[in-house]
Structure 1
Amino acid sequence: MELSHGTVAVTLSHNPNISAYMVTNGVVSAADEADLVQPLKEGAALFLATTRATTPMQKLGNCTDPSTSCRHDADCSVGGHTDPPLSYGICDESSGYCITQGWCPKPYTAGANTQVSQLDGIEHLAITLIGTIDFPRLGGKNNWMTTEDGRNAKVTWSLPTVLKRGGVDQVEVTASGAVLSLVLKWSCQLGPGSKECLPALKVYDIGKGAGFYNEYAQYYQQSEGGTPVLHRDLNQARGIRLLVSSRGVARKIDAYACVLQLFVALALIPIASMLADLIMQNLFSERRHYREYKTETTPDFSDVRAKVEQMEKHTKSQNAKRLEYGEEA
């Protein structure tokens, strides 16, 4: 038996006739993998954004921070908000927030034009897993397996099926996100006449309802008064984080190991010596010599033993008489 780990690649797919879509401020727009998955290509993982807030055309400057409310400059000197060169403890009394240097405007503030997009039609999405695994210690040429080598393995599952197997609610996941572990589990019996080994999908909610949040941005330069100025579009997304892996166990009957175990077992029970003696006396070519040296005929010492016993009795009698004589004296 051997335990092993493999590799998995995951991609997002959708129904070719019915696509998922994003709703932004009541406006519906089609969405494909390039719109929903960020980053687009990631090893053994995939992030599907279900809710995304986009703040366009941010640039570096001094602006109010909604997380630091104030009424006077002194309020901005409390809690570490005086930290040159990024902040100097200045309060923008018109907005009621401290002024700090950063990417402006901040999301959801005046002039930010933050747009929130919601994924709909999640039931039309599916994931495709391409997995491999290898069992090198068991030997043989067919111990490396993949879902792409022609075996009748299922590789595509609808997203609602994946969520159901993970025990998470589709509505809650769309709003707050989730972190799921997707495992292709292999249980293989190798060797001649064995059945085709097919992986099974196991889904685990490792986030335990904590959701998943991610930020990313697209950077570009835009001319202002003839001078190029660095800008960015900030994306704040919640969604489904999928971590994929491949692992399994394989078993193979080894004739050499079976014979070795048989003889080890026989050596541990009393019948082993009897079986060895039977083989030596009846099957080996030198069995005649074995019989001769196993038993050796010795002379008959019965007369000698009788004389010894007689002498011992005589000695005991003499000793008894001496003791008796000594007591009479």
Structure 2
Amino acid sequence: MDTVSSNNRRFSISTFMKDLFFGFVTEYETPKIVTIHSYKITTLLRIMQIGLLLYSIVYLFFYEKGYQKQDSSIISSVTLKVKGIGYIHTGNNETFIVDGTGMLVYNYIVPPSENNAIFIMTNFIQTDQVRSKCAESVTVSQAICTEDINCQNKPYMANVNGRWTGRCLFSSKGNISNETNNATNQTTGLCEIQGWCPVEDDHQETTSINEVLNFTIFIKNFVEFPAFNVKHKNMVENLKPGVYDPINNKDCPIFRLDYILNEAEKNRTERELMLRSGAVIRAKIDWDCNLDRSIKLCKPVYSFARLDTPFAEETFSIGFNFRFASHWKHHKKYLRSLTKAYGLRLIICVSGKAGKFDFITLTLNTGSIVGIFGLATFVCDIILLNLTKKASLYRDFVFQRVEIERMRSNSVSQKIQDHDETVATIYENINTNEPTLSSPIWIAEPFVRFSERTCTTTSTPTLIHSNQLLRLQPSLGLTNIMK
């Protein structure tokens, strides 16, 4: 019995696999389509489809170049050159020339070279100093004293300008003695330091560099897009002489400082404060190259913006400044010229992308666009099946509900009906005239009686002659029963 069951099971599995294979090869499946006549829903669907079509073709394909492979991993190198001659006026009605090389007394480019940045000094405070002893700065409140003991055993302070000697000076000159100090009528003084003298006074009026707005900055930019092995630069072959102009000469990478300042800050008062106290400006070079055309047609777009906080919004540490010094030795004395520089720090930022036609990218984006069209049908289905007056009626046509128990009951009922028809056929054959009748044979006829909840099986005897039974064997599924 187990062998027969195992054989039937193997046969069923092989039949299933065979049917599955032939079905996969020969059967084509398509979703059920329900056609609904509704002017409102149809109009809404067409409007959405037209809108999605225009969005896909105009924006995704043409504006965003959906048919191109994009590369935004740009490699960039920037060099900067500043040219211009400025001048300053001194207190003795003297004029000094300021240039970008430092060969004409003063240098406005400090330091001479930076990485993707440049500093242009617009005004400064210069203090000539020598290594000696002198009074501390009046801005250091802890340095105010009335006697020497006030300047001794002081803790370390970050704002001092040198090492305190322990003496209290009642004069700004450091070469007077204590006896002289005691003879004066002054009651308060400043502690003496040993260091660079005299100390810097950065509250005095700064020295401005005139004609600084007429300085020109040459921005030379080299870029590479490694995905396409393409190199380019921002200098065209037929470069016109002059400076950058957004209308007449936008290919020229030479900019006047006045133009950069006006683009970075629109407020005139803020621009004046930027020149006086310094500021930080961002210069952005943006590339967008279409490599389906000649690389010579790819030109960058320049923009300038201010990075530091406006003076109207900031009260602490405004502007941009730093100090630098020039040292030398004369007659065994160490001297230096300390300069506190205010100016504009220009930081260069380069970004960009390049695109070239790619069949795989085109195929993927086309598939995405086709999928977008399903959004219109999805929205219309939600409206049709949930928000319309006949939503329940539409759902009956669109959705098919499957109940397993009811399907089983219908299948059993169909089998009973087929069984009854077979029995009726047998009785009709019994009543027909047969030339020779053999001895009758009693067989048990199984049938099933169904109620709503119970199922019973009984047997009813039926009289059938052997000749008729032989004729009905195939229809009853019997073989060799008379043998």
Q: TM-score, normalised by structure 1?
A: 0.70
**Counterparts in 2 of 1:307 and 1:10: CA distance versus 1, 3 Å:** same
1:252-279, Cα deviation, whole Å (9 max, x unpaired) = 2212432455578889999xxxxxxxxx
Distance in 1, matches of 2:258 and 2:81, equals: 16
RMSD: 3.9
Q: Output the amino acid matched with 1:200.
A: V
Q: Output the amino acid matched with 2:115.
A: G
**Counterparts in 2 of 1:55 and 1:246: CA distance versus 1, 3 Å:** same
Tell me the CA shift for residue 215 of structure 1: 0.7
Is 2:308 aligned against 1:207? yes
Structure with more contact order per residue of length (Cα contacts < 8 Å, sep ≥ 6): 1
Is 2:148 aligned against 1:70? no
Is 2:97 aligned against 1:23? no
Aligned partner of 2:167 in structure 1 is: 90
Distance in 2, matches of 1:187 and 1:254, equals: 17
The answer to whether the 8 A contact 1:21-1:120 is kept is: yes
1:3-34, Cα deviation, whole Å (9 max, x unpaired) = 235222112123xxxx4322222422222112
- Gaps spanning 5+ residues in structure 1: where? 271-304
Tell me the CA shift for residue 107 of structure 1: 2.4
Distance in 1, matches of 2:372 and 2:273, equals: 62
**Counterparts in 2 of 1:106 and 1:267: CA distance versus 1, 3 Å:** closer
Alignment of 1:135-154 (within 5 A): 135-137=225-227, 139-140=228-229, 143-148=230-235, 150=237, 153-154=251-252
Secondary structure of residue in 2 paired with 1:128: strand
**Counterparts in 2 of 1:151 and 1:86: CA distance versus 1, 3 Å:** same
Distance in 2, matches of 1:269 and 1:121, equals: 62
Distance in 1, matches of 2:272 and 2:447, equals: 114
Secondary structure of residue in 2 paired with 1:216: strand
Is 2:154 aligned against 1:53? no
Q: Output the amino acid matched with 1:154.
A: C
**Counterparts in 2 of 1:205 and 1:261: CA distance versus 1, 3 Å:** closer
1:110-145, Cα deviation, whole Å (9 max, x unpaired) = xxxx995321112321111011222112x14xx221
Bigger share in strand: 1
**Counterparts in 2 of 1:6 and 1:28: CA distance versus 1, 3 Å:** same
Q: Output the amino acid matched with 2:156.
A: G
Aligned partner of 1:159 in structure 2 is: 257
What is the count of residue pairs matched by the alignment? 275
Tell me the CA shift for residue 170 of structure 1: 3.5
Max radius of gyration: which structure? 2
Aligned partner of 2:349 in structure 1 is: 245
Counterpart among 306, 321, 329 of residue 221 in structure 1: 329
**Comparing 164-173 and 30-39, the one that deviates more:** 164-173
Tell me the CA shift for residue 180 of structure 1: 0.9
Distance in 2, matches of 1:70 and 1:241, equals: 41
Counterpart among 93, 112, 128 of residue 218 in structure 2: 128
Tell me the CA shift for residue 217 of structure 1: 0.9
Is 2:296 aligned against 1:188? no
**Counterparts in 2 of 1:313 and 1:174: CA distance versus 1, 3 Å:** same
Tell me the CA shift for residue 71 of structure 1: 2.8
Tell me the CA shift for residue 154 of structure 1: 1.9
1:21-50, Cα deviation, whole Å (9 max, x unpaired) = 222224222221122111122222211111
Is 2:103 aligned against 1:2? no
Distance in 1, matches of 2:293 and 2:238, equals: 17
Aligned partner of 1:273 in structure 2 is: none
Bigger share in helix: 2
Q: Percent same amino acid among aligned pairs?
A: 20
Tell me the CA shift for residue 158 of structure 1: 0.8
- Runs of 4+ deviating beyond 6 Å: 263-270, 305-308, 321-326
Distance in 2, matches of 1:71 and 1:121, equals: 48
Q: TM-score, normalised by structure 2?
A: 0.49
Distance in 2, matches of 1:268 and 1:174, equals: 54
Tell me the CA shift for residue 97 of structure 1: 1.7
The answer to whether the 8 A contact 1:132-1:246 is kept is: no
Secondary structure of residue in 2 paired with 1:80: coil
Tell me the CA shift for residue 159 of structure 1: 0.7
Distance in 2, matches of 1:151 and 1:198, equals: 13
